[in-house]
Amino acid sequence: MEEAKHVIFKLEGEEYGLDIMYVNAIEKYTNIIPVPNAPDCIEGIINLRGDVIPVYSLRAKFRLPKKQVDDNTKLIISKMDDILIAFQVDSVQEITELSEENINETPRILKTVNTAYIGQVANIDGRMIILMNLKGILSDSEQKNIEEILNNYE
């Protein structure tokens, strides 16, 4: 039975999971430098240990209302196609092992271009956790915009 560790985080009370293999770090929310004319989902950039990292708001991606940053707000640092990116989330709940028997494929009716970020769905003790497909989070245009932003700060 295969088990994979996932970082479980919350947005607007819903739980999401990201395979720990794609997580470089979990950081406290830090000062974000706004980037003029950046796409809506990009909150700005941070400098973390010498790396310039764009901060991507999953709340904006999922069309959730803006939320005041608090002590629970975290940045999940991931690497996508050789680019470090910080996903801003409401809180990180836990790091947990999920076994295959608790993981289900996403119902086909939910699979659209706008929900490409949904990888699978886990059910643990009655909790539904949407497991993220990292490659489905950014659209091609968002990926290009992030690369342009980073090129301007190198």
* Class for the domain spanning 3-152: mainly beta
Please report, for the chain, the start and end positions of each structural domain, with discontinuous segments joined by +. 3-152
What are the tens digits of pLDDT across the range 92-149? 999 999 888 888 888 777 766 677 788 899 988 889 999 998 888 887 888 888 888 8
The confidence band for 57, taking pLDDT boundaries of 50, 70 and 90, is very high
| Angle (CA) 16 35 70, round 5° | 45
Q: How far is CA 67 from CA 26, 88, 130, 145, in A?
A: 19, 11, 21, 24
Indicate the average pLDDT of the chain. Answer: 88
Provide CB contacts within 8 A for 138, sequence distance 6+: 56, 80, 85, 146
What are the tens digits of pLDDT across the range 81-105? 788 999 999 999 999 998 888 888 8
| Contact by Cβ (8 Å): 19, 8 | no
Percent of the chain with pLDDT over 90: 51
pLDDT at 75 over 60: yes
- Note the pLDDT of residue 154: 66
Give pTM, 2 decimals. 0.89
- Note the pLDDT of residue 99: 87
Provide CB contacts within 8 A for 136, sequence distance 6+: 115, 116, 117, 118, 119
Q: Where are the beta strands (DSSP E) in the chain?
A: 3-11, 14-19, 23-28, 42-48, 51-57, 74-80, 83-89, 91-99, 103-105, 118-124, 127-132
- Note the pLDDT of residue 26: 97
